[in-house]
Amino acid sequence: MTKVDLTPAFLIHRRAYKDSSLLLDFLTKEHGKIRLIAKGIRKSKTSIQMFQCLNISFVGKGELKTLTNWEVDDVPRHLKSEALILSMYVNELISRLLQEQDPHVELFEIYKKFVNQVGSLKQDSRHWLLRMFENNLLAELGYAVDFVVDVNGNEINQNSSYEYQQQAGFLQSSTGKISGKLLHQLSAGDVENRPNLEQLKACRDLNRQRLNPLLGNKPLKSRSLFFTKQ
């Protein structure tokens, strides 16, 4: 029997279960992604909000356990419009790519920082924040790339152009669309030091190239709301 009391968590997905219950997916700090049954919660006058840090308690045997208690440990956060769609996309990436009960403490903190910032940034900065989150997620999953040296072991030159070679790294190329400056910016991970619009789109395309083999043929639902319109 497993019994966990008040562990930090974010709700990332929910769906109906039987007559009055929900299946809830959480990203937790200590236990990774977990799925819990919330019995009778659809009849409750209070609901568990996404994008708000919670402390949750659960109990049970086997893979599917039962949510027994939850407390809000965060400020109210009501994301709207593009900030909401970007956050839904991030939730879907986590739901699709993380293994059950595989802890990612650093990713939890990165996600917390993302939801804290995304609602207050302007559009270009929001997109840059998203690109950095995708990069951090890939690194957490074991798919980090070297933004400091290229595939030949040479230091990335800010004034050169590069192309990405899957599972290898970056190769200097006169026809490459990725600037060395962008790779330095990705390495620094500073939301205030964002690339220009052209390089922001190049970074989007780079991350899609890296993510698509992991996501497979099943399209992301959140992309249909936003990304196909870019």
Do residues 142 and 65 both lie within one domain?
A: no
Q: Is residue 202 part of a domain?
A: yes
pLDDT computed for residue 217 by the predictor:
82
Do residues 153 and 212 both lie within one domain?
A: yes
pLDDT band at 230; cut points 50, 70, 90: very low
Angle subtended by helix axes 197-215 and 123-140, to nearest 10: 30
Q: Is residue 212 part of a domain?
A: yes
pLDDT band at 62; cut points 50, 70, 90: confident
Q: Does residue 4 have a pLDDT over 70?
A: yes
Sheet with strand 178-179: strands edge to edge? 169-172, 161-165, 178-179
Do residues 65 and 154 both lie within one domain?
A: no
pLDDT band at 224; cut points 50, 70, 90: low
Task: State pLDDT tens for residues 108-134.
Answer: 999 999 999 999 999 999 999 999 999
Do residues 55 and 148 both lie within one domain?
A: no
User: How many separate domains does the chain show?
Assistant: 2
pLDDT computed for residue 228 by the predictor:
42
pLDDT band at 32; cut points 50, 70, 90: very high
Q: Residue 210 has which token pair? A: 């890296």
CA distances for 88 relative to 114, 182, 190, 210, angstroms: 12, 26, 22, 20
Q: Is residue 34 part of a domain?
A: yes
Range of the domain at 10: 2-72
Q: Is residue 103 part of a domain?
A: no
Q: Is the dihedral of CA 138, 142, 145, 148 positive or negative?
A: positive
pLDDT band at 45; cut points 50, 70, 90: low
Q: Does residue 94 have a pLDDT over 80?
A: yes
Identify the CATH number of the domain in which residue 126 sits.
1.20.1440.120
181-205 as b/e: b if 16+ CB within 10 A: bbbbbbeeeeeeebbeeebbebbbe
Mean pLDDT of the chain: 92
Most confident of 63-67, 71-75, 156-160: 156-160
Do residues 219 and 131 both lie within one domain?
A: yes
Do residues 128 and 59 both lie within one domain?
A: no
Q: Is residue 87 part of a domain?
A: no
Query: By three-state DSSP, how is residue 28 classified?
Result: strand
Q: Is residue 90 part of a domain?
A: no
Identify the CATH number of the domain in which residue 68 sits.
2.40.50.140
pLDDT computed for residue 229 by the predictor:
42
Task: State pLDDT tens for residues 170-217.
Answer: 999 999 999 999 999 999 999 999 999 999 999 999 999 999 999 988
Do residues 131 and 59 both lie within one domain?
A: no
**CB proximity list for 165: less than 8 A, separation 6 or greater:** 151, 171
Q: Is residue 35 part of a domain?
A: yes
Reported as type and span, the H/E element at residue 197 is helix 197-215
Q: For residues 39 and 65, give the distance between their C-alpha atoms in angstroms, rounded to a whole number.
A: 11
Q: Is residue 105 part of a domain?
A: no
Reported as type and span, the H/E element at residue 27 is strand 21-28
pLDDT computed for residue 219 by the predictor:
77
Reported as type and span, the H/E element at residue 22 is strand 21-28
Do residues 55 and 138 both lie within one domain?
A: no
pTM summary value: 0.92
Q: Does residue 218 have a pLDDT over 90?
A: no
